[in-house]
Chains A and B, each alone.
Chain A
Amino acid sequence: MVRLHLQRTAMATLFEMWLLGEDMEHLAAVGEAAWDEILRIEKMLSRFDPAAETARVNRTAAAGPVLVDYELFAVLEDCLFWNKETQGAFDIGAVAGVSFAEAVRMDLSSRTVQFLDDRMQLDFGGYGKGYALDAAARILNQFAVGSALMHGGTSSVLAVGVQEDGTPWPVGVQDPFTREPRELRQIPLTNCGLSTSATFAPGAETSDLVDPRRAGPLDQRVACVVAAPTALEAEVLSTALLAMGKPRARKYLEGRTPLDLFQVLWIEQHEESSILNEIFPLPSSAVS
C-alpha cells in the first residue's frame, strides 16, 4: 500500500490530503482531480477573488437581481436552511453586520439573488471549506480511493475509511488559547467530518468571529469541536454552536440522536487554563 501526501494553498489557507491506495500514479491523478474540485469551489464561493461567482454577486446584487448558476443558488438555499435550523446562529451575512435571511431576496423561478440591504456581502467563511472537502471526497469515491484524510486550514477535517493498519485517522485537538502546543484530546475519525471553531486565535485580543445577534465580535474565550457525518455539517454547526454560546448550544442539542451528529466538544477557560467537556452526547446519556 502506498500513501500520497498533497499540500496546496486555497481559500487563503493550507489544504492537505493523504490518500492511500495501491498505485501511486492513480493516486496522484485522483489527488489532482480532487484538488481541481477544491479550486473550482473556491472560484464559486470566494469573496476575495474578483473572478469568483460570489465576488460578482457581492459587487452587483445591491443594484438589482443577479442571475446565479444552479449550484450557487442551491448553496444559498442550503445556507438559508442552516440559518433557520440554527435559529439565526449560522449567518453568511454576519460578517457584513446584517442578517442574511432579511437582507437577501432569492427568487427560484428566475434563479436570481438580490441584496435588499446594501451592506450585505455573502461570506462563506464558515461554510466553504467543509463544502469543498465533501466535494473532494466525492471525487475520491468516484475513482475508488477508499482511504483518505483531508483538511482545510486544520479547522475543517474529513476522514474517509481507515489507515493502512486498519485504525481510524487520529486527529489531535489542541488547546486553542495557549501558545505552547498542548493536546487536549485525540479523536479517532473514520468516514466523518470534524470542525473546530475558536472565538480567538492564540494570543489575539479580539475575536474575528461575529455574534449575529449582537452584531459584535464574540467576547468569551471558547472553542467548539463538532464531529458530524459530513465536513459541511461539522463546519456549519461548530460555527453556529460557538455563536450560540454554551447554554443555548446545550439546549439546541437536547433531544438529538448521535446519528445526525456524532460528537460536540466544548473548550473554555477556567482559571487561566483550558478545559474540554463533551456536551454532546452528554457523558451520562452515552449508551454503548
Chain B
Amino acid sequence: MLAAAGCIAREAQSAESRPPVRVAVVGTGGRGSDLIRKLTTIDRAQIVAVCDDYPPHLEQGRKYAGPEARSFENYSHMLSEMTPQAVVVATPLVQHYGMCREALDAGCAVFCEKTMCHTVEEAKTLTALIEKTGAVFQVGLQRRANAVYSQAAAMVDAGMLGQITAIKCQWHRNNPWRRPVPVGKDHPDWPDLERRLNWRLYWEYSQGLMTELASHQLDVANRLLKSLPRRVIGVGGIDYWRDGREVFDIVFCIYEYELPQPVFREKEAKSGRSDAPSEATAFSAEPYKVRVTYSSLQNNAFEGASELVMGTKGTLFLTQQKGLFYREYGADDPGWSRDGRIDRDASIITSGKTLKMSNDPWVHRGKPFEIDNQSDDTRDELVAFLQNVQDQNPETICNARTGYENALTVLLGNQAMREGRSIEFPTESS
C-alpha cells in the first residue's frame, strides 16, 4: 500500500507571515458552501465576502463563512464595493464566463468551478484573455490535486502500464439528480424556482452530464494521455427520468486519441531472461490510437465514479479515494511458479505439489498494488490556488489552457450526441 501525500507537505512548509488572501465567493449553493467551509480551515485564506442572488443560499453561505464576511445579492455590486484578491466562482455553468470576466477585469485572481464555460467560444475567449494578462486562474477539477491521480500519472509515465490502449471512464449513479423546490407545484413561483434550483437539467444553463460529471474524468484521460482527442462519437437520451428535464439522463461517448509520441514497448524476450529488468524502449512508428469511453447512467450506481486505464502491462482502477494497480501476466512477469523467489539458475521451481490457486473466477486479477488517498483534494486544490495567488504565479495546477481543453472535450461529446454524428476536434490548439 502506498500512502500518497499530495499537497500536504507544501502547506506545512509555509507557516508564514504573508497576509492571507482576501477571497470572495460567488454562488453559495451546494458546491460554493463546500468551498467556503474548506476556505475557513485554510490559514492563508480570509473570506471577505459571499454573494448569491437566492436569499436562502446566501444565508447558508454567510453561516459557513462566519461573521466577518460581508454578503451581497448582486455580484457586480460586490465588485464595485470591494476588490478581493481572488474570486471563487461556484455559480451555474452559464454564469461562469461572465463572472470570470468581471473578476479578471477587476484585477482579481479567479478560481472557477468546472466546467470552465458553457460554450467552446467562451472558453476560447477567456483563455486568450487570461494568457494575455497572465492572471492567476484555476479551474476546479480537484483530481488535479489528488494524490491517487498524481501517482497514476507517474506510473503511466514510468511505463508501468506499458502501452495504453483504452480508458473506460464512468460516473454512474442511481438518483433523479433533481433538487427539491421549497414550494408546492401549485404555487405561482414553482416554475421559476424549479428552473433556478434545477439549472443542471436545462440546456439553457447547463450542458448536462458531460459538463457536470464527465468533465472530471475526461480531464483524467487528457492528463494521462497528454493529448486532446481527435474525434468523438456518442449517443444519449432521456430514457428513465422522463420528468420534464431537457438534458440526457444517459450518455455514452467514445473518444479517439492519436498519439504520435514514442511509447513504451516491452522488449521481445527472445533471448533475454524474462525476469531481467525490462527496459522500456522508445519506439516510434505510426501514430497509434487510444479509445476512451465515457458513460453516465442515473439508474445504476455500480462502481460509481471510476476510471479503468488499460495498458499492455497493467491496469489501473482509479477513484478519488483509492487506486488499484493490477499487472497483466505477460512476458516479463516473474511468474507464479517462482512463489515470489527470484532464482537465477532455475527457470521453474517444482516441488511435487500443484501450485494452489483459488477457483475464484476473478483470480486472474491477482493482488493489486494499492494507492490510498490521505487527504481532501478539494481543500488541497484551494491551498494550491491560494499559494499561486500569493506568489502571483499563473502556472496553477489546472490553468486556463487545461480548462479550455477540458471544456472542448466534454462539449464536443455533447455535440456528437445531439447531432448524431462524429465530431472532429480542431487540429490547431486554440
Contact, CB under 8 Å: B375 / A67: no
List which B349-387 residues lie within 8 A (CB) of chain A: 372-379
Contact, CB under 8 Å: A28 / B40: no
- Given known pairs A67-B43, A69-B37, A70-B66, the reply for A30 and B374 (CB within 8 Å) is no
- Given known pairs A25-B243, A28-B176, the reply for A69 and B41 (CB within 8 Å) is yes
Among listed B180-188, B250-258, B304-312, B417-425, interface-contacting one = B180-188
Among listed A46-54, A148-156, A265-273, interface-contacting one = A46-54
Contact, CB under 8 Å: B182 / A142: yes
Contact, CB under 8 Å: B376 / A71: no
Q: Chain B 34-57 against A: per-residue CB contact (8 Å), 1 yes, 0 no?
A: 100110111100000000000000
Contact, CB under 8 Å: A144 / B184: yes
Contact, CB under 8 Å: B375 / A51: yes
How far does the alpha carbon of A64 sit from the alpha carbon of B178 in the complex, in Å? Answer: 43
Contact, CB under 8 Å: A23 / B180: no
Contact, CB under 8 Å: A70 / B40: yes
Residues of chain A lying within 8 A (CB to CB) of residue B180: 26, 29-30, 32-33, 143
How far does the alpha carbon of A111 sit from the alpha carbon of B175 in the complex, in Å? Answer: 37
Q: B321 interface residue, CB < 8 Å from A? A: yes
Q: A36 interface residue, CB < 8 Å from B? A: yes
Contact, CB under 8 Å: B182 / A71: no
Q: B179 interface residue, CB < 8 Å from A? A: yes
Q: B111 interface residue, CB < 8 Å from A? A: no
Closest residue of chain B to A142 (Cβ to Cβ) is B182
Contact, CB under 8 Å: B176 / A32: yes
Q: B30 interface residue, CB < 8 Å from A? A: yes
How far does the alpha carbon of A37 sit from the alpha carbon of B179 in the complex, in Å? Answer: 13
Q: Chain B 164-200 against A: per-residue CB contact (8 Å), 1 yes, 0 no?
A: 0000000000011011111011000000000000000
Residues of chain B lying within 8 A (CB to CB) of residue A40: 34
B interface majority secondary structure: loop
Q: B149 interface residue, CB < 8 Å from A? A: no
Q: A68 interface residue, CB < 8 Å from B? A: yes
Q: A56 interface residue, CB < 8 Å from B? A: yes
- Given known pairs A51-B377, A70-B64, A142-B182, the reply for A36 and B176 (CB within 8 Å) is no
List which B133-176 residues lie within 8 A (CB) of chain A: 175-176
Closest residue of chain A to B45 (Cβ to Cβ) is A67
Closest residue of chain B to A64 (Cβ to Cβ) is B15
- Given known pairs A68-B41, A69-B37, A70-B64, the reply for A33 and B179 (CB within 8 Å) is yes
Q: Which residues of B contact A (CB under 8 A)?
A: 30, 34, 37-38, 40-43, 63-64, 66, 175-176, 178-182, 184-185, 243, 320-321, 372-379
Q: What are 26 A-to-B residue pairs whose CB atoms are below 8 Å?
A: A23-B184, A25-B176, A26-B185, A28-B176, A29-B178, A29-B179, A29-B180, A29-B181, A32-B176, A49-B321, A50-B372, A50-B375, A51-B321, A51-B373, A51-B376, A56-B376, A56-B379, A67-B41, A67-B42, A69-B38, A70-B64, A70-B66, A71-B64, A111-B40, A143-B180, A143-B182
